[in-house]
Structure 1
Amino acid sequence: MFNVVTVCTGNICRSPMAEALLRAEVERAGLAREVEVASAGVSDEEHGNPVDPRARTVLARNDLELPQHSAHRITDRELAQADLLVAMTASHQEQLRQRLPGAAADKVRLMRSFDPAVDPSGEDLDIADPWYGGAEDFDTAWEQIRAATPGLVTWLGERVATR
């Protein structure tokens, strides 16, 4: 199995939305037997909490859900087992890389780096943080995640095919 973990701050907004969408798109692409998708946070401040209700609303509107979600900080074991860590922001990416030894840091990528409409050399590749905003901020984060997901699924399909 190719193990993918989507990562944000507290694991209640962006990374669960990315997990739910990526899991559905991996299934749709016929990769569910080869790709496992999970999510985590870089912080334990939301430990044990469910998906934020505003994020759950976005997921429901898109016929997706994560019924058994419980927020947690990414563990050393998850870091070691992950083939790809998909960070929502440059800060998350840096925090993950600091916890990984040497070349293993290369397995951390930004979610928006998979969006073909985004300049990968651009300064801001962060998925917008919706936490302090309203429903429209969750929609913005969702649209950014949604735009990057097809590129990520294609990338995963290529990796799985060469394993």
Structure 2
Amino acid sequence: MVEVLFVCLGNICRSPMAEAVARSYIQSEGLSDQVKVDSAGTGDWHIGHPPHEGTRKVLDLNKISYKGMKARQFNGSDFNAFRYIVCMDRKNLRDVLERKQGETNSEVVTFMQFVPDSAAEDVPDPYYTGNFDEVYQLVQEGCRNLIHWIREKEGI
């Protein structure tokens, strides 16, 4: 089983959207028994909360389930629990890497490396911008490319 963790700041907008979109894509590709996804935030403000209303609205419009998803905070044990830790922006990448202690089996990457034609270096935070549709477009392309990359890398 290949475990993937999406990480953003509060775990209510970008990373749960990526988790839900990736899970939907994984199911449609018949990979549910080979790839598992989750999400977390580097901050603790929203622990236990469902995804943001804007995220839920975009996912509902696209018929993508977020059932049972609740925000949680990223912690050091995630380095051992997940093969790939995918950070939604460079600030969260730095925060994640600061929590790394010793050697792990995790590979920490940025989400936008899977959206090669975008000029953006970070997935914009719709909590501040309000542009959940733009984020959904980036997440959709990035998740498709990420899963393709994992399939090639892991031989699945």
By the TM > 0.5 criterion, same fold?
A: yes
2:9 corresponds to which residue? 9
How many angstroms apart in 2 are the aligned matches of 1:116 and 1:146?
Answer: 13
How many angstroms apart in 2 are the aligned matches of 1:141 and 1:118?
Answer: 12
Query: Aligned-pair distance for 1:156?
Result: 1.3
| Alpha-carbon contact 2:88-2:111 (below 8 Å) kept | yes
Which 5+ residue runs of structure 1 have no aligned equivalent?
none
Which 5+ residue runs of structure 2 have no aligned equivalent?
none
2:126 corresponds to which residue? 130
How many angstroms apart in 1 are the aligned matches of 2:152 and 2:31?
Answer: 11
CA RMSD of aligned residues (A): 1.8
| Alpha-carbon contact 1:31-1:157 (below 8 Å) kept | no
The percent identity for this pair of structures is 31
Query: Aligned-pair distance for 1:42?
Result: 0.5
- 1:148 is matched by which residue type in structure 2? G
| Alpha-carbon contact 1:21-1:146 (below 8 Å) kept | yes
1:96 corresponds to which residue? 96
Q: Map 1:81-160; keep pairs closer than 5 Å.
A: 81-101=81-101, 104=104, 107-118=107-118, 124-134=120-130, 137-160=131-154
Query: Aligned-pair distance for 1:77?
Result: 2.1
- 2:123 is matched by which residue type in structure 1? I
How many angstroms apart in 1 are the aligned matches of 2:28 and 2:95?
Answer: 32
How many angstroms apart in 2 are the aligned matches of 1:12 and 1:148?
Answer: 18
Query: Aligned-pair distance for 1:105?
Result: 8.8
